[in-house]
Structure 1
Amino acid sequence: MKKTIEPASSICALLLIATSFAAPKTDAEEPTRTDTGFPVTPVFAAGQDGYNVFRIPAVVRAANDDLLAFCEARQGGDASEIDLVMKRSTDGGNSWGSLQVVQKNSDFRQYVSDAVTEITIGNPAPVVDLIDPEHGGRIWMPFTLENDRVFVIHSDDHGATWSSRHEITPDVKKKAWGWYATGPVHSIQIQRGPHRGRLVVPADHRIGPDGHDGGDLGAHLILSDDHGKTWRLGALDETYDDAIGANETTVVELADGTLYINTRNQLGGKPGTRGEAWSGDGGETLESHDPRWKAFRPASELLDPPVVQGALLAVKDNLIVFSAPDQNGPSGSGRSDLRLRYSADQSKTWLDGPLIYTGPAAYSDLVMVGDQTVGVLFENGDASGKNAYQRISFARVDVGKIQHAGGDQ
């Protein structure tokens, strides 16, 4: 039965929801080295903590340097009962604490009709606000309900507790849009230029009935210029008549303050599986730098992964990194062989970096662990022919190895 959404009740008063602070380490979570040579630590594993599967990772580094790994804790597929959960690392990703439920799907019963038997929340897109003069280090977490409505929560204690939810759907969703997804990947805060401090959340939408995963595809950015007090729509991709079906999107700030936006092309095939655009005004508009394309253009320099989510990260100087499976990797086509790709010239050209994991692999996110290490949080499975959703793991990669000649380690 199609899920239907009832009108929202009034937003509840801001209350802090106490949650247990994660222990520094759990059993049997030691790093192991894969055949690619990188240490990989399991973070979430299917069948643990009362959930059948964990999917859709996102990761940030809190102001106290703890790493916070978020994901969807599911009982089934994309439309099953889903909670938003988190684990914490206090040692740079070498070990991870116990599971913390950030948002429980049953707490959203008031927003859905009685016909809905399985409530779906998800699409985490966290961002750490380090520039807020009143609440420096506040973590914002945009997410969605039923891929239709948009909420935010925040934490002022590095993720130990979270505020009550606040709905922002009327401010960030057009009436014609049905399907809606934030991220799923970390969001960013602009660090330089006239828009310094702005929070930028990558998102996507489809034209059609509420929550319906069908219809024309487009991407957009959600912006906040007052440290999360209010949110609004920024750049919009509404070019529904071209060959780029913008879907899950990721964004990074370049050294000159320009935003580089990369999106999954859900249409696949020609002209490729990725699209790219730039914004010179802090995320208000999109530019393709190609008169043949109105918003996103084919990312021809970024070697095609399969049709899948990907993540961007600004590392240092002119170096930016992109993570996604490599359909030309040793395991063959499809969602397998997670690889880093890099650009040393601010998104103009892209080269293959190291292969992080050989075997089934899918969604991922990236985070800086100190100044010289990139952390990769990614979905994966073993090489026995099973899918890429057996676990979510964390790998550490020295920055110096990303541009290693020949790519693979």
Structure 2
Amino acid sequence: MKALLIVFLFTLSAMWGIDSLAFQDQATPVFSAGEGEYACFRIPAVIKTTNGNLLAFAEGRKNGCSDTGDIDLVMKRSTDDGRTWSQLQVIWEDGTNTCGNPAPVVEKSSGDIILLSTWNLGSDREPQIIEQQSTDTRRVFLLRSDDDGHTWSQPKEITAQVKDPTWTWYATGPGSGIQMVNGPFEGRLVVGCDHIEAGTKKYYSHAVYSDDGGHHWNLGGSSPQDQVNECEVAELADGRLIMNMRNYDRNQKSRQVMFSDDGGITWTGQKHDEALVEPICQASLLRHEDELVFSNPASPDKRERMTLKVSGDDGRTWDRQLILHEGPAAYSDLVSLAPGRIGCLFEAGEESPYERIVFLPVEMDRFR
């Protein structure tokens, strides 16, 4: 009977294109709780530079895993596609304040790396900011590197460019942005963000964009409906954008998506994607060659089971998947490594999703 059950499960997995790589032993730890002066690392983001190196970003949280308090932006580098990583580099530290939500994007013509981030006083908590009872508010900053991430500019505030003054809470990304490659908006940088409108307590997703290589930024359009926030953007084959958003509607425990045909200035067609189950958590979306790849903890109620899904028809269907980690897992970010090869940087652990941030390269032919 046991043998028959094994055969049945194997057959079922093959039918649905499901695979589990048991990646706990194959993933490379990048940031581990307790490393250096940081009790916890959260909020991963990863990009590949024009020189072929990987830069992994995270929040280094000094006093625990809380979203509030003394939080720095940190980075590590890999020169071998994620097999080994450098020592920790602090990108932005501001005393006991919060410097977080890394949202990097590569400007390919110059090779410059633009890192959007969000700041608030370490003593201000999210509910206070939302209720406008905080000492300060959430502010948006830009850091720039023109030497492959070895050095970074001083943080430059761009709040006035990208935040409506009636908004309270605000967050960049988290996760990497994109540079558009098709149509009239070729070269445009686009990053997904989110906000809360004053007096409403309602979360919305929105885009910000730059047409001058990331030197100046503009506020794009917002989601027509609320109950969404953390988001990532990908470009479709026809030049439209798709935004994939964290969903708070517990009547439908799946991601929400929407579309833009003007480079992120306006968004329409907001809907649930029932194939992308989620427990209320951040996720990542990547266009790799002619396919979309999606990563998240694919569970309706718990942050566990980090999974990759692939669509060959611009997100209309998701017919293949790989389970990277069955245990606790949370935020993630995807990156293209080479033709037929991607990487996933994600939070994972045995008892908690926040024990470490790991990197895992994946061959696309594992999905077939």
How high is the TM-score relative to the length of structure 2? Answer: 0.87
2:192 aligns to what?
202
- 1:93 is the counterpart of 2:82: yes
8 A contact 1:276–1:298 mirrored in 2 = yes
In the comparison of the two structures, how many residue pairs are matched? 331
Read off the aligned partner of 1:193 and give its amino acid letter.
G
Q: Distance in 1 between matches of 2:273 and 2:321?
A: 17
| Deviation sequence 1:128-185 (CA, Å, 0-9, x none) | 0003xxxx10000000002710000100011000011111101111111100000001
8 A contact 1:143–1:151 mirrored in 2 = yes
The correspondence of residues 346-365 of structure 1 with structure 2, limited to 5 A, is: 346-365=314-333
- 1:41 is the counterpart of 2:28: yes
Q: Distance in 1 between matches of 2:224 and 2:312?
A: 30
SS of equivalent residue, structure 1 residue 124? strand
Q: Distance in 2 between matches of 1:393 and 1:259?
A: 28
Query: Which of residues 201, 204, 216 is equivalent to 2:202?
Result: 216
Higher share in helix: 2
2:356 aligns to what?
391
Deviation at 1:225, TM superposition (A): 0.7
- 1:233 is the counterpart of 2:205: no
Identity of aligned residues (%): 43
Read off the aligned partner of 2:111 and give its amino acid letter.
G
2:162 aligns to what?
172
Deviation at 1:350, TM superposition (A): 1.7
Q: Distance in 2 between matches of 1:178 and 1:272?
A: 26
The correspondence of residues 1-400 of structure 1 with structure 2, limited to 5 A, is: 35-36=22-23, 39-75=26-62, 76=64, 77-106=66-95, 118-131=96-109, 136-146=110-120, 148-208=138-198, 215-240=201-226, 245-265=227-247, 267-288=248-269, 296-300=270-274, 302-317=275-290, 319-327=291-299, 333-382=301-350, 386-400=351-365
8 A contact 2:224–2:268 mirrored in 1 = no
Deviation at 1:401, TM superposition (A): 1.2
Q: Distance in 1 between matches of 2:276 and 2:177?
A: 24
The alpha-carbon distance between structure 1 residues 353 and 37, as it changes in their structure 2 partners (threshold 3 A), is farther
8 A contact 2:210–2:216 mirrored in 1 = yes
8 A contact 1:272–1:299 mirrored in 2 = no
Read off the aligned partner of 2:168 and give its amino acid letter.
G
Deviation at 1:39, TM superposition (A): 2.4
Deviation at 1:399, TM superposition (A): 1.1
Read off the aligned partner of 2:221 and give its amino acid letter.
A
Q: Distance in 1 between matches of 2:234 and 2:101?
A: 18
SS of equivalent residue, structure 2 residue 161? helix
SS of equivalent residue, structure 2 residue 160? helix
Q: Distance in 2 between matches of 1:344 and 1:395?
A: 22
Residue ranges of structure 2 left out of the alignment (5+ in a row): 1-19, 121-136
The alpha-carbon distance between structure 1 residues 151 and 308, as it changes in their structure 2 partners (threshold 3 A), is same
Deviation at 1:305, TM superposition (A): 1.8
8 A contact 1:262–1:275 mirrored in 2 = yes
8 A contact 1:38–1:356 mirrored in 2 = no
Higher share in strand: 2
How high is the TM-score relative to the length of structure 1? Answer: 0.78
8 A contact 1:38–1:397 mirrored in 2 = no
| Deviation sequence 1:271-308 (CA, Å, 0-9, x none) | 333110111111111110xxxxxxx21122x3312110
- Give the alignment's Cα RMSD to 1 decimal: 1.7
